[in-house]
Amino acid sequence: MTTTQPGTQLNPAAGRRASAGEQDLLAALRGGDEAAFLGFVRQYHPALVRLATLYVRDRALAEEVAQETWLGVLRGLDRFEGRSSLKTWLFSILVNRAKTRGQRESRSIPFSALWNPDAEPAEPAVEPDRFLPPDHPDWPGHWAAFPKSWDQVPEAVLLSQEALAVIEMAVAGLPPSQREVITLRDIQGWTADEVCNVLNIGETNQRVLLHRARSKVRRALEGYLDG
Amino acid sequence: MTAIDELTCQELVELVTEYLEGTLSPAERARFEAHLKLCDGCSRYLEHMRRAIRLVGKLSEEAIAPEAEQTLLQDFRNWKRN
């Protein structure tokens, strides 16, 4: 049995970690590889636009900010030293540009970076009246009535356009700081660390914002499924 | 005192994100799971949360518009030339 196969060298991308993949991408971009650039753009442009819409007044402006971000990437490409990941760098440029544009458009936005959990009332994940009162003799703080099981809900209903529209609306209705975090974590699939880095927030705030956001989305879904 | 009394349902729902993120301490995690084992309501709640998260993940991004792609490709070519 051979563990080192001679063919490995012909496929340099196989088995590499993301950071190594990024080095390859970086080299390709610097070398003027159009296919590599287009691949990179296709992968991240829609996400850039989505994130930018949190800061600027409309979608057209968000699209503009995303395009400017790519110009910023091209301008900075030769100086990029790889201290952060390429992705984190890309989104940091976007967030900075979008914030600048947002201010220029005189829209005031409560950024998650400025969010202070102590300055806001607590937001229970579930309406308090769904639980038995604290003075209940047997089960204080336990469910007054259990949430319904969704085991019997067909996938076709759960994944219907209607259900997705409910989710989309719930996300759109969140305060911007919560929307930022859930967008990056659950739509873009970022790690908590990546979100903290790009949004410049602490680990605990990131988690609290995510918790509030997810709890509200769950409530919206429950409202829809249980009618 | 039984496991289900050590953590109320109302307390548990506030720990769901920490549970899913893996940031509970081992003792808190044990308490959480002990409650879950005895409480159908909270098991369902956790399942609801997991489903909601999966659905949020289905909110896909639209593809980039062809015009935007062309503009960016042109930007790239200009950058290459300079």
Q: Which of the pair, A143 or B4, is modelled with greater confidence?
A: A143
Cβ atoms < 10 Å from Cβ of B21:
15
Q: Which residues make up the CATH 1.10.1740.10 domain(s) of chain A?
A: 20-111
Burial-class residue B28 by CB neighbours within 10 Å (0-12, 13-18, 19+): middle
Q: Which of A13-17, A28-32, A197-201, B76-80 has the lowest mean pLDDT?
A: A13-17
Predicted pLDDT of residue A12: 32
Number of H helices, E strands in chain B: 6, 0
Q: Does A40 touch chain B (CB under 8 A)?
A: no
Q: What is the pLDDT of residues B18-35, one digit of tens each?
A: 999 999 999 999 999 999
Distance of CA A14 to the CA centre of its chain: 28
For A134-145, letters b (16+ CB in 10 Å) and e give: eeeeeeebbbee
Q: What is the pLDDT of residues A48-74, one digit of tens each?
A: 998 888 788 788 999 999 999 999 999
Q: Which of A1-5, A16-20, A127-131, A199-203 has the lowest mean pLDDT?
A: A1-5
Assigned CATH class of A20-111? mainly alpha
Report in angstroms the alpha-carbon separations of B22 from A145, A211, B26: 28, 13, 10
Q: Is A207 in contact with B41 (Cβ distance < 8 A)?
A: no
In 3-state terms, what secondary structure has residue A136? coil
Cβ atoms < 10 Å from Cβ of A152:
7
Q: Which of A41, A125, A221 sits opposite B72 (nearest CB)?
A: A41
Sequence-ordered alpha helix ranges (H) in chain A: 18-30, 34-52, 59-76, 86-104, 155-158, 161-172, 176-182, 192-199, 203-226
Asked whether the beta carbons of A195 and A184 are under 8 A apart, the reply is yes
Give the distance from residue A88's alpha carbon to the nearest chain B alpha carbon, in angstroms. 19
Amino acid identity at B42: C
Q: Is the pLDDT of residue A18 over 60?
A: no
Counting one residue from chain A and one from chain B, the pairs whose CB atoms sit within 8 A come to 135
CA distance A99 to A110: 11
Amino acid identity at B6: E
Q: Would the pTM of this model clear 0.90, i.e. be above it?
A: no
In 3-state terms, what secondary structure has residue A143? strand
In 3-state terms, what secondary structure has residue A131? strand
Architecture of domain A123-226: Orthogonal Bundle (1.10)
Predicted pLDDT of residue A126: 96
Q: Does B64 touch chain A (CB under 8 A)?
A: yes
For A119, the token pair is 């300055």
Predicted pLDDT of residue B6: 84
Q: Which residues make up the CATH 1.10.10.10 domain(s) of chain A?
A: 123-226
Asked whether the beta carbons of A66 and A52 are under 8 A apart, the reply is yes
Cβ atoms < 10 Å from Cβ of B7:
19
Residues B30, B13, B50, B2, CA torsion sign = positive
Q: Is A187 in contact with B63 (Cβ distance < 8 A)?
A: no
Q: What is the pLDDT of residues A71-130, one digit of tens each?
A: 999 999 999 988 888 988 999 999 999 988 877 765 544 456 666 766 777 889 999 999
